[in-house]
Chains A and B, each alone.
Chain A
Amino acid sequence: MADESTRPADGDPGTPSNRTRIAVGAGAAVVAAAAVAGVVEVVRNSQNIPAGSIRVNGATHQVQSAPDTPLLYVLRDEMGLRGPKFGCGLGQCGACAVLVNGREVRSCITAWSAVKEDVTTLEGLPARWAQKKGVAAQASPALHPVQQAWIDQQVPQCGYCQSGMMMVAVDLLERVPNPTEAQIRDAYTNTPPSPHLCRCGTYMSIVAAVQRAAKAMG
């Protein structure tokens, strides 16, 4: 095709996110040790998720798409989820970010068949918070503290990037309960595979919201 060289792929289906992922099944102590040692460990199924399925927001979903299909399209087109957004298909902006095993992953460049652990999207944040607090699912709060902080700080403008931004906040706050401004800026900028981009210019409101959420979660 004549214009192929100037037409980047919409996404590379075969390449999982280059984010380091750490198995959680062996327990928190192992996670901590691995994290300290900086070990890159390939994720293996620890949740007994049936073949051909993914587990999203606590429920198992039988996938109908080809194995090379990026997770993003399974979440959006098969499951009707609206949290993760298509922004670039290149792992360059973060609009599609979801949590896999608690860590932020770009669903636009991660084939669903490479996902072996629980996926959390924006829709699943309240239940995730309930689980952290040991609250029964039916008593689940309407909002995760991160979502509440986003409302209280009036963070979104268009809001298109904000699902991904909230994913980073949850990822960060579950590991670093009281991040400094420098740590927050670093998490949104320097965590692979790319900075999280906001075009409306909400970065400083996000910093304030993450700090606000940290207080609420502490």
Chain B
Amino acid sequence: MTHELSRRTFLKAGGVLVVVAAAPGAVIGAITDATSAAAPFPALDPTALATWLTIHADGSITARSGHVELGHGVQTGLAQIVAEELDVSVGRVTMILGNTNETPDQGTTAGSTSIRVAGAQLRQIAAEGRAALLKLASDQLGAPASQLTVTDGVVTSGTRKVTYGDLVKGRVLTAVAPITVSGYGGFRMSVTGSAKPKSPSQYATVGKSIPRVEIPDKVTAKATYVQDVRVPNMLHARVIHPKGIGSTLVSVGSFVPAVPGARAVTKGNLVAVVAEKEWDAIKGAQALQVTWSDWNKLPPSDGVYAALRKLPAQEKVQMNVGDANAALASAAQTITATYQTPFENHGMIGPSCAVADVRSDGSVTVWSATQYPQGLQKIVATQLGVSPQSVQVVRFEGAGCYGRLSANLDDAATEAVVLSQATGRPVRVQWTRADEHRWEPHGPGTVHDLSAGLAPDGSVLAWKHEAWMPTNSDSTMLGAALAGKPLNGTGTGGWTGPDLYTFPNNFEVAHGLPELGAADSPYGFGLRTTFLRSPGQYQITFAQEAFVDEIAAKAGQDSLAFRLQHLTDKRAIAVLQAAARAANWDSRPSPKPGASAKNGVVTGRGIALVLRDGTYAAGVAEVSVDPSTGKVQVQRVTVAQDSGLIINPSAIEHQLESAVIQTTSRAMMEQVTFDTANVTSLDWSSYPILTMADAPKVQTVLINHPEIPATGVGEPAVNLIAPAISSAIFDATGVRIRTLPLLPAAVKAALA
């Protein structure tokens, strides 16, 4: 490995390095000084190590990532990875996340990629940084780099020592290292170089439960959420969205009653009220007389599953092995079942909010909680017809969003941009609760037809699964679309998730559907649907894992043993066995002896397995069911997970707790309702979510495989909950319920 060191001006092209900087803030200063009218915010060079990493004279380290904190702990996990490679304590590392002026584009923070993808890139960057520092130290200490050791930023050769801080003190350096970045900003982006990252056997910081670094600010009101952003001369805005999904503006009248201080702003079909005081904007939005055209092209939520089957579909074959139809025809016995899942909300506890400042000099700053700052930067640039280098996106945390601000980057930001341009002032858009419940791009409802053919011994000869799924990846920007400049599109649904079980004849196909009502909407979108935590796979896994349980019951076999019989993947087998062990799995066929849909409260257990983006998870749900009321209580959920190398056990445990409780809510209670015009579930009483009273106890088992690269932890367990609960209800009652949510009325009706 060779590193050529030179004293070049910091930030010159081609350099890679490690800085320097006597004064913290010099990096930001350098970039700001370089601004010009033509390109207020110059693009970053991802092949320059200095873009990613700064070594400060006091020994502290700043590392920058385009990924963002969502409350999943990535700020801490990435700091651990950087600290590990640089051989410093984690407290020395500060992560800067999600500011297009400072942080390189590592793609969207979604799909469990923060550790798996962005973390792997930062690991290589930090290893390059360490190599550059060791070269400096080698020169200073007069010993080859291979003979140096580093402990918390102190480089030692025999009795001689020098700190990282001393190595860079008072100097501006660039170290030229052969970093190559391909696919910059994309899902396939890679960062390669000549430094070799540590072996996991040497890890001291990775693998420890380091307390999350952003939590103290969150419990002392020092954290800045996007909702807290206030800029000078800022107007507060409330947007009045269309009546129906495809309604267009007929007229804007006056405020009744009058609201002094509020004024209406209209651009195309984007109608808003702005005011100096937030309360005046709220009252104004309630008082403004707005008339919309009627639009009634949506199939209502009652009967939506039949409507989904009738939409024009794009067929996407996931699996085609053997001849499933022929094997089904010749099977000793066959089972068929239909599973259905409703449209769901992300349900951000704080509705969408963003601030935009479109300035007269052509520069634009957007403050947003988006999951992808560079993506939003490009969209806003397109929306305004300017270059991306005219737009800065400063990202702050918002309320947990679970995919809502990923493909669909931030509707409120695109509205704020329109309103700022129209008013010539910075504008803060805050959606109401009803705005969010109605206009968030939802999780799509789905339908699944499954068939299985069994051999006389109960083993599976044939498996067939057809799924009808609207798009999962709406990326329409509401503000841009309403203002007359639609951006991006809606796409069609597709399959998500690999097969784990080995069946000799297997046919799986997704009927990829457009959005409901989209064909008849002037905006190009219908009932918008986009990524919701483990998108697509949540629905697929519910149908498949519950159906596996049905087959096992039909074959008279224990559900765990039946799965093991059809598995060859050792990691899948191991997580299943670990979950079963921790939950004291009671091996026997379902339903349970004494199961009843009639008499008194009964209990049962169900199990499920998933592989998502490299992570294996298995879960056991234990429930009680009261047939007289239909009330199902999820008592406890046990999850075992193997995500390869574990970075931070505590953070993973909390992610699993989060996945279990949030998804228990989705499975048990949640469904978006809509009529022919628009969504009708507009608040927490018409779209209730799980309360603390009904939260299950959560037990977790983590399986560490340091030799296997780390994979995601926020999504996999999400997939286990609905099938495990539904199978537990079957175990307790002998009745299979195949449509979510598992509300008391539906359960009671099914048991009757």
Contact = CB atoms under 8 A, between A and B. Distances in A.
Interface string A41-57: 00000000000000000
Contact of B658 (A87, A186, A189, A200): A200
B702 to A, nearest CB: 15
Nearest to A70: B279
B290 A93 contact: no
B349 A161 contact: yes
B225 A160 contact: yes
Given A195-B693, A197-B691, A73 B221 contact: no
Nearest to B287: A1
Residue from A76, A85, A143 having most chain B Cβ neighbours under 10 A? A85
Contact of B433 (A8, A66, A157, A203): A8
21 contacts: A2-B243, A6-B243, A6-B682, A8-B682, A10-B286, A80-B230, A83-B221, A89-B432, A90-B433, A95-B349, A122-B220, A122-B221, A154-B212, A155-B219, A158-B71, A158-B398, A185-B692, A199-B400, A199-B662, A202-B658, A207-B692
Given A82-B224, A154-B650, 20 more contacts: A1-B289, A3-B240, A3-B243, A3-B290, A7-B286, A8-B433, A65-B277, A86-B430, A92-B684, A92-B685, A143-B220, A151-B216, A154-B212, A158-B70, A158-B398, A185-B693, A190-B693, A197-B684, A199-B689, A200-B400
Contacts of A81: 221
Given A90-B683, A154-B212, A205-B654, A82 B397 contact: no
Q: Size band of the A side of the interface?
A: 35 or more
B433 A88 contact: yes
B258 to A, nearest CB: 13
B400 A92 contact: no
A22 interface: no
A179 interface: no
A201 B659 contact: yes
Contacts of A3: 240, 242-243, 290, 292
Nearest to A163: B221
Please give me the 4 A-B residue pairs with the lowest Cβ-Cβ distance, nearest first. Answer: A201-B661, A158-B71, A158-B400, A159-B218
A199 B433 CA distance: 14
Interface string A1-36: 111001111110100000000000000000000000
Given A151-B211, A195-B691, A10 B282 contact: yes
Interface of A: 1-3, 6-11, 13, 65-66, 68-70, 73, 76-77, 80-83, 85-90, 92-93, 95, 121-123, 143, 147, 150-151, 154-163, 166, 184-186, 188-190, 194-207
A156 B285 CA distance: 33
Interface in B600-629: none
Nearest to B430: A86
A203 B692 contact: yes
A206 B290 contact: no
A195 B225 CA distance: 23
A159 B180 CA distance: 37
B720 to A, nearest CB: 14
Interface string B643-679: 0000000110010011111100100000000000010
Contacts of B288: 1
B526 interface: no
Interface string B398-412: 111110000000000
B492 to A, nearest CB: 28
A159 B223 contact: yes
